[in-house]
Amino acid sequence: MVNILTNILKSDRLDEYPKSKKFCSLKEKGLRKESFKPLSSFIDEAKTWDHNAQQNFACWLFALFETSDDIHHTLVHPLEKELLKPLLEVWMKSNPEDPRPYRWYGVFLNAEKRVDYLYNALRLGGSNEQLSLLTLIDINLNALWYSFHHISEDLYLGDIKEDTVLITKSRQLNNKVECQQTRHNNSEALDYYQDLLNDWVLFTEKQSKGFIEWCENKGRSYHWVKSYYDEK
């Protein structure tokens, strides 16, 4: 995907938001500090718009976020906190059946309960909410990665019951993914964590140290087992 600043600056709609255009132009030139002055002016101006104007801006901006890389160049803290979060929160209250504000809040903004917003988007939008679906699966895979990322040191940081549930939920979500390649990749990742969890349970029934050696003796082909023995 293309960098967010490139996509925004190429958009025909940008002329409708001249202060935002100035902010993005300065950011693209690497003038971060200077860019915050026009951004502040833009936020103050946008706060005076009616709900329709604010929602039209949000639809334009988030649509670009969905098709761009490096959105952190544009989605800076003042824009998120002072304009986008309040805007989407009002939108959810005024039109609670619209999945879009839930999706955008859960996918792009810093929120304590991102998963709740994403599940609401799925509930309202069904199979059309592919981005919400994929984001939920990524969140789950990241949680599983955290549980196991020190497993080669005999250190499991997760909870067996919780991770079992997480894998099951992720499989159910993955069944709704439309892209076959993405669904296949997710399935492989979930199989990996399921196998690893099963092996960890078997290992801890009899011992607490030497998981790498245990995997090697059992013929488990995890990449970190092979790497460990290749280095010896």
Structure tokens at 93: 């209250």
Number of separate domains in the chain:
2
Positive/negative CA dihedral, 83, 8, 99, 75: negative
Shared domain check, 206 and 160: yes
Shared domain check, 105 and 13: yes
Shared domain check, 208 and 160: yes
Nearest to 152 by CA among 229, 227, 225: 225
Shared domain check, 136 and 124: no
pLDDT bin (cut points 50, 70, 90) of residue 130 is: very high
Q: How many CB atoms lie within 10 A of CB 39?
A: 22
Rounded CA separation 57/75 (Å): 14
Rounded CA separation 52/163 (Å): 43
Shared domain check, 122 and 36: yes
Shared domain check, 203 and 163: yes
pTM of the model: 0.91
**76-101 pLDDT, tens per residue?**
999 999 999 999 999 999 999 999 99
Shared domain check, 179 and 144: yes
**149-204 pLDDT, tens per residue?**
999 999 999 999 999 999 999 999 999 999 999 999 999 999 999 999 999 999 99
Shared domain check, 148 and 103: no
Shared domain check, 10 and 113: yes
Shared domain check, 88 and 43: yes
What domain range includes position 225?
A: 132-231
